[in-house]
Copies of this chain bind each other. A is one copy, B any other.
Amino acid sequence: MPPKALDYESLNENVKKVQYAVRGELYLRASELQKEGKKIIFTNVGNPHALGQKPLSFPRQVVALCQAPFLLDDPNVGLIFPADAISRAKHYLSITTGGLGAYSDSRGIPGVRKEVAEFIERRDGYPSDPELIYLTDGASKGVMQILNTIIRGEGDGVLVPVPQYPLYSAAITLFGGSLVPYYLEETANWGLDLNNLRQSVAQARSKGITVRAMVIINPGNPTGQCLSEANLREILNFCFHEGLVLLGDEVYQQNIYQDERPFISARKVLMGMGLPISKEVQLVSFHTVSKGYWGECGQRGGYFEMTNIPPQTVDEIYKVASIALSPNVPAQIFMGLMVNPPKPGDISYEQFVRESKGILESLRRRARIMTDGFNNCRNIVCNFTEGAMYSFPQIRLPPRAIEAAKRAGKVADVFYCLKLLEATGISTVPGSGFGQKEGVFHLRTTILPAEEDMPAIMDSFKKFNDEFMEQYEDHRGYSRM
Contact = CB atoms under 8 A, between A and B. Distances in A.
A12 B148 contact: yes
Contacts of A80: 71, 74, 76-77, 79-80
Contact of A137 (B16, B103, B328): B328
A99 to B, nearest CB: 6
B20 A322 contact: yes
Nearest to A294: B101
Contacts of A67: 60, 63-64, 67, 330
A49 B69 CA distance: 13
A45 B298 CA distance: 27
B76 A68 contact: no
Interface stretch (A50-58, A261-269, A338-346, A390-398): A50-58
A8 B313 contact: yes
Contacts of A137: 137, 300, 324, 328
A144 B148 CA distance: 13
Interface in A71-97: 71, 74, 76-77, 79-80, 96-97
Contact of A6 (B20, B96, B310): B310
Interface stretch (A149-157, A197-205, A420-428): A149-157
A245 B5 CA distance: 6
Interface in A290-347: 290, 295-300, 306, 309-310, 312-313, 316, 319-320, 322-331
Contacts of A15: 148-149, 316, 320
A138 interface: yes
A439 to B, nearest CB: 27
Given A60-B67, A79-B79, A150-B6, A140 B316 contact: no
A102 B300 CA distance: 10
Nearest to A171: B323
Interface in A26-66: 31, 45, 47-53, 55, 57, 60-61, 63-65
Residue of A64, A101, A144, A310 ringed by the most chain B CB atoms within 10 A: A101
A316 B16 CA distance: 7
A104 interface: yes
Given A20-B323, A243-B4, A297 B50 contact: no
Given A49-B99, A63-B67, A102-B49, A6 B245 contact: yes
A225 interface: no
A100 B74 CA distance: 25
A457 interface: no
Nearest to A42: B97
A327 B300 contact: yes
A13 B71 CA distance: 49
A409 interface: no
Nearest to A170: B323
A150 B64 CA distance: 39
Contacts of A164: none
Given A63-B67, A103-B297, A138-B324, 15 more contacts: A1-B243, A4-B243, A4-B282, A5-B245, A5-B282, A6-B150, A18-B320, A23-B319, A53-B101, A64-B64, A71-B80, A76-B80, A77-B80, A100-B296, A140-B325
The 3 closest A-B pairs by CB, nearest first: A298-B329, A49-B101, A49-B98
28 contacts: A2-B243, A4-B243, A6-B245, A11-B313, A12-B149, A15-B320, A20-B319, A20-B320, A20-B323, A23-B322, A45-B103, A55-B100, A57-B70, A64-B65, A67-B67, A71-B80, A76-B79, A79-B79, A102-B298, A137-B324, A148-B174, A171-B323, A174-B323, A298-B328, A299-B330, A300-B325, A328-B328, A328-B331
